[in-house]
Structures are given as structure tokens and as C-alpha cells.
Amino acid sequence: MTERVGPGLAGDLSHKERKRIDTQLAGIIIGGIIPAVVFGGYGAMQKQCMRAGLGVAGFFLVLGATAACSGLVFRVLDPGGGLTSVAVLAAVGFAVAWALGIGLILLAVSRYDASISQLVPLYNSATLGTVLLGLGLFSEWRDVRPLPLLLGAAAIVAGAVIVTRASRDADAGPRHGTPSGSNRRKGLLVGGLLPALVLSVTGPMMKCSVRAGAGTGEFLILFGVTLAAIGLGCRLWRRGGRISRAAVLTGIVTGALWALGTGLTLLALGRLGASISQITPLFNMNTLVVVLLGLWVFREHQQVRPAPLFVGAAAIILGAVLVAGA
């Protein structure tokens, strides 16, 4: 009797392997590459929100409300499996950490007139912390290769150093509207390096919430409500003035971009089982999009030297890709 089990199993395994590869590719595109473009627009819009007079509290209020409304749409497209206490705590923790990190960035932009094209490469170096936490918390360390990990970490650190030194020299002559050297350094610290530390924990919190049962819609609703509550508390504390309609519309557009990018990332993490340590470096390639928009739209070439800025941003992205591929 001829044995036919072997070829059949081989065919089944081949089919499963192809399906796994297709799923991984879909996760990379949906959760990494497309969000990179979307987050690029969001990153540049942060500065426009401050210029429009939205303020930090108003930014949180409008963006939180927009995210919650977007969550209702995603709730229809991607129903969750039921919320658990762990999912809720992780989503709320994500919102609090995200609000702290973004609040520091907005503070640097509004108070120190920091260049968004210079800040984004710095706070996106949070990729290193996110990947390392993901490798440890979700056991993604089992297949890690030490050499790419070390090279990637070195590239991220080197890129961050180059970006911080991309500011035009203070003794190059006064220029109208450019911040002083002292304010520039404070802006880089407050809006770049500190947010990098804070935002590094948001990726693992996102995946933890999804793993615990939160769907894309539930996560965005929890995030939006938490962020809006933080914004309301800040606004009541600071007693800000009236927010213009243009500022609100700018905030809504910014929030919609953020919700779309985050929603796609959550879909990839939940439906497609994507790895947070793999897609984080990909969607953080929005760095180059923001750098281009910052230099062009906000004319930040007057404050920073484009050549070292691009070199540093490229080094950070290369390092992130190496770390993710380790």
C-alpha cells in the first residue's frame, strides 16, 4: 500500500507557511508602512495646533474626543472579544503615558519654539525602549541576534546625538524668530529626550491591552475618554481662554490622523498577530515625513541644518530597523 501521508503533510505545511508569510506581510503593511505615512502628517500637525492657539489642554480635549468618536467607527469594523480589567488598565495607562510624552513635546513647541523636524527624530528613538520591552515582556527575545541589536542601538544613539547637534550655531548671527541657544537646548530636552523615555512604554501597553481582549474600537474609546478627561482637568486648572473654531478644526484633523494610524496598528496587532517589536520601527519611519514637512511647511531650515538632521534621522531609522530585525 502506498503511503500518501508524507506528501499531503508537506503540502499542508507549505500552505500554512505561505499563509503565515502573507499574514506577516499584511501586518507589516497595515500596521507599519501605512501608519508611517499617516503619523507623518499627524506629527507635523502637532505644531500647527500650537500655532493655531489650541494649547496643550485644548489639544488633549479635541484629540481625545476625536479618538473616541473614531473608536465608535472601528468598533463596528473590528468588534472586540470583551473588555477585561487588564485591558482597561493597559489602555488607560497607555493614554496617561502618551499624554505625558506628547504634553512635553507640545510644551517644547509652544514655550521654546522648538523645531518639530528636530524633535520627532529624538522622541522616536523611543523605538529602542519599545522594542526592548516588547522582546522581554512578550518573549520576542527567543530569536534575537545580539549583533544587529547592538548595532541598531548604537545607530539610534548616534543618530540622536547628530540630530541634537543639527541646530544652527548661536554665533552665526541673529535671525528673526529663531530661539536662543539656551531655549533650543531646553526644547530638545523637554520635547525630545524626555518624551523618548516616556513614550517607550506605550507600545507594550498597547499590545498588552489588545492581548487582554480590547478591540481597536474599545481601545480608541478608552484612550479618547481618558485623554479628554486629562485635557478637561488641565483646562479647568489653567483657566484658559476661548479656543477658536480654526484651532478646533486643526485639532480634529490631527486627532483623525492619529486615530487612523493607531487604529491600523491595533488591527495589525490584534487581527494579524503582528509583533510590536517589528512594526514600531516601521511606523516610526514617519520621522522622515515630519522632517520634510517641518523644513518645508514651517521653514525650520532657518533654525536647523538640514544635512545633519537627515543624517541623524536616517541613522535612527536604520538603528530601529536593525533592532527590529535582530
**Are 50 and 103 within 8 A, CB to CB?**
no
Cα angle: 38, vertex 44, 47; to 5 degrees: 145
Asked if the model's pLDDT at residue 221 lies above 90, the reply is yes
Higher pLDDT: 131 or 227? It is 227
Is residue 8 domain-resident?
A: no
Domain range enclosing 285: 36-324
Is residue 280 domain-resident?
A: yes
Summarised one tens digit per residue, pLDDT across range 44-98 is 888 889 889 898 999 999 999 999 999 999 888 777 667 889 999 999 999 999 9
Residue 33's pLDDT band, with cuts at 50, 70 and 90, is confident
Is residue 51 domain-resident?
A: yes
- b/e per residue 164-182 (b: at least 16 CB within 10 A): bebbbeeeeeeeeebbeee
**Are 229 and 57 within 8 A, CB to CB?**
no
Range with the poorest average pLDDT among 50-54, 98-102, 186-190:
186-190
Is residue 131 domain-resident?
A: yes
Does the reported pTM lie above 0.85?
no
Q: Where are the alpha helices (DSSP H) in 165-274?
A: 181-188, 194-199, 202-211, 216-238, 245-270
Is residue 3 domain-resident?
A: no
- Residue 252 is predicted with a pLDDT of 95
Is residue 45 domain-resident?
A: yes
Can you tell me the distance from the alpha carbon of 92 to that of 103, in angstroms, rounded to the nearest whole number?
A: 16
**Domain count within the chain:** 1
**Are 294 and 103 within 8 A, CB to CB?**
no
Asked if the model's pLDDT at residue 149 lies above 90, the reply is no
- Residues of the chain with pLDDT > 90, as a percent, come to 22
Mean pLDDT score across all residues of the chain: 80
| Amino acid of residue 71 | G
Is residue 271 domain-resident?
A: yes
Is residue 82 domain-resident?
A: yes
